[in-house]
Structure 1
């Protein structure tokens, strides 16, 4: 408990920080369905995860995943184009 007081961090803040980091990793990875991401982050249901994620990041988890996928696809195409030159 002493380290929380020294850092002025609550347990909830610490849990949310870790969840945000894991959510970012799982969404970027794209290998797991959102329902599994919800379970891994110990949310009671997919709807609870969706609400929490939107509150934390201002976009939905599915929007974030689509954005990340789009960046990854564009990046792969750029690499392929460079390799052909």
Structure 2
């Protein structure tokens, strides 16, 4: 019982000190999709990494295997970000 009376105030003081310390975290920039193009279906031999490389080769910012609706296959979709 004695430990609880000592530890609870110390714990609360520690939370107070951490919450009052200056934070150096910056919010990252939110990027919107400017253009999207979905091409070929993804398969075990044409996976996410290969899709991404093909999208970058075509001049897009990034790409990956995406699904649009349940029970449909994955498609390689390329994105241009603003």
After TM superposition, the score normalised by the length of structure 1 is 0.26
Higher helix share goes to which structure?
Answer: 1
More strand per residue: 2
If asked which structure has higher relative contact order (CA below 8 Å, sep 6+), I would say 2
